[in-house]
Amino acid sequence: MSDAKIPKRILDKDLDKFANVEEAAGFLSRSLIAPGLALLFLASAGIFASLYVFGEPRATIVIAAAAIAGYMALNIGANDVANNVGPAVGARAITMGGALVMAAVAETAGALLAGGEVVETIANGIIFPDAVADPNVFIRLMVAALIASALWIHLSTWLRAPVSTTHAIVGAVVGAGAAAAGLSAVNWLSMGAITASWMLSPLLGGAIAAALLAFVESMVIYQDDKIAAARRWVPLLIATMAGAFAAYLATLGIGKVVTLANSTVAAIGIGCFLAAWVAFHRIVGRQSRGLENRNQSLRHLFVIPLIISAGLLSFAHGANDVANAVGPLAAIVYAAGTGEVAAEAAVPFWVMLIGALGISVGLLLFGPRLIRIVGAEITKLNPVRAFCIALSTALTVIVASWLGMPVSTTHIAVGSVFGVGFYREWAAIRSIRRRAYLQRKQEILSPATIEAEPVAPPPTTNLLAGGKKGSQQEIIRRRLVRRAHVRTIVAAWVTTVPASAVLAALFFYLLRSAS
């Protein structure tokens, strides 16, 4: 080896090291962009609040609370909104970028247009107001609740677990309220009823989603003439979605602006159902012309309704769940300005704006992480399955609202995803209609054209018991529902209320000792 080649080789190695350093620095800087923009938003929220409260009593605590409420809103956007658009993204009905923009616009519009001018200051009446009549104690309670719930949601997002932001804030209020005034300050009877409804809602959502998917498979997918069956049933399904979402928006989307009786909500839903049924008979008939008699053709008929449902879910979510961030802040602003504690408080526009923009910014910066979990990693979705999930979410919320049950849309939406996945596991092994359909395909079609689906073994196989590694039931189980995500999400659901409560109690004690 010549002397001239040795320096060149050393130089090449040095240049490679510089290139690696530059690449690592670029990667690190990209990973810091989102946190940097989030911090900029929080600082802007505090500055924005100071324009309205500077010079007023307790202005400092209000400015700090505005930044904390902005942090809470960021976490709501990063975690909760994934349930609205995740199925549509997982089904490839819309791209990730398109879903983020659509959801951000819909969330902001829902919060600002239908978020309400008055919110409850103590979530769901779980704390007796007389127990925290001192405004200084009340302000510390709400600040502690905001910090605790926001931190728990942040941790859950980092762990890739979609949780209920309503659960987090309610648990935090319980913990801070108990720390402030003792366990007797908590309305345990109301809390017990709320907890029971939270446990039932994901089961109800999952059952409805599974029943819808079973209906679609039985009446459309497993029919010999799929296109004729689609012309008959798809308009009915889309009309049901239109009616359900009309009632959903009337119940939650604008319920804080205009109070509507159940009969009025029902009339709105029925009217939209009939109008959509007439319209989509023509639309589906036109779309289905020339389509091949295969499952892939059917999925195109559900794409547009699925995208619309994702936008409507986001609008209703913005209108309803923005209160989880702005409710405590509005209560703090009212108590700081008047020196009184009220069961309800008016929401200044600047407070609502912080909540609305915070949800959208959090979604745009951090939302893709959980959107992928909900839409693609729990179970495989297509437009038909995602449509069943969206419709199940709306139907379950409507039923629960009419029954007077406070529910979590997060639990319902994710429960619907679980319901679809577990139904597919059951159907892959035990569905008689599915086996008959596959048998007909084998008799009619050549093996090369048969869709690659696992052929069901005899129904005596116990799917839930699993099977030996590599066995068919084990392959189906691992392919259809990822148990690791199920365990993580359910564990996060179970621990959200107690964890938020403990954190809030600790922060309340810290705030009290600091003052």
**Taking the chain (515 residues) in consecutive chunks of 10 residues, what is each chunk's mean pLDDT?**
53 54 49 88 95 88 95 94 90 92 91 76 69 90 95 94 90 93 86 79 92 92 90 92 86 72 88 94 89 86 90 86 89 90 84 94 92 90 92 85 74 92 86 71 56 45 43 58 88 93 96 86
Alpha-carbon distance of 284 to 110, in angstroms, equals 30
Range of the domain at 96: 36-430+481-514
Tokens (6 digits) for 201: 């809602």
For position 443, what pLDDT does the model report?
Answer: 65
Contact present, 91 and 317 (Cβ < 8 Å): no
Conformational region of residue 9, where left means phi above 0, alpha means psi within -120 to 50, and beta covers everything else: alpha
Tokens (6 digits) for 286: 């036109």
> Please, is 394 exposed, middle or buried when counting C-beta atoms within 10 Å of its C-beta (0-12, 13-18, 19+)?
buried
On whether residue 190 sits in a domain, the answer given is yes
Question: Of 114, 138, 176, 63, whose CA–CA distance to 323 is shortest?
Answer: 114
- Helix H, strand E, coil C: the string for 372-385 is HHHHHHCCCCCHHH
On whether residue 115 sits in a domain, the answer given is yes
Question: Of 461, 458, 492, 489, whose CA–CA distance to 474 is shortest?
Answer: 461
On whether residue 447 sits in a domain, the answer given is no
* Angle in degrees, CA 165, 499, 483, rounded to 5: 75
E strand or H helix at 344: strand 344-346
> Please, is 44 exposed, middle or buried when counting C-beta atoms within 10 Å of its C-beta (0-12, 13-18, 19+)?
middle
pTM score, whole prediction: 0.84
Tokens (6 digits) for 394: 């709306």
Count of C-beta atoms within a 10 Å radius of residue 444: 10
For position 168, what pLDDT does the model report?
Answer: 92
For position 63, what pLDDT does the model report?
Answer: 95
Alpha-carbon distance of 494 to 239, in angstroms, equals 36
On whether residue 475 sits in a domain, the answer given is no
For position 456, what pLDDT does the model report?
Answer: 45
Count of C-beta atoms within a 10 Å radius of residue 111: 29
> Please, is 16 exposed, middle or buried when counting C-beta atoms within 10 Å of its C-beta (0-12, 13-18, 19+)?
exposed
On whether residue 247 sits in a domain, the answer given is yes
On whether residue 5 sits in a domain, the answer given is no
Q: How far apart are the first and last CA of the chain?
A: 75
For position 118, what pLDDT does the model report?
Answer: 67
Residue type, 456: A
For position 451, what pLDDT does the model report?
Answer: 46
For position 450, what pLDDT does the model report?
Answer: 45
Tokens (6 digits) for 287: 């779309």
Query: Looking at the 3D structure of the chain, how many domains does it have?
Result: 1
Contacts of 246 (CB under 8 A, 6+ apart): 268, 269, 271, 272, 273
Count of C-beta atoms within a 10 Å radius of residue 372: 16
Alpha-carbon distance of 376 to 212, in angstroms, equals 20
On whether residue 210 sits in a domain, the answer given is yes
For position 11, what pLDDT does the model report?
Answer: 53
For position 129, what pLDDT does the model report?
Answer: 75
For position 224, what pLDDT does the model report?
Answer: 85
On whether residue 348 sits in a domain, the answer given is yes
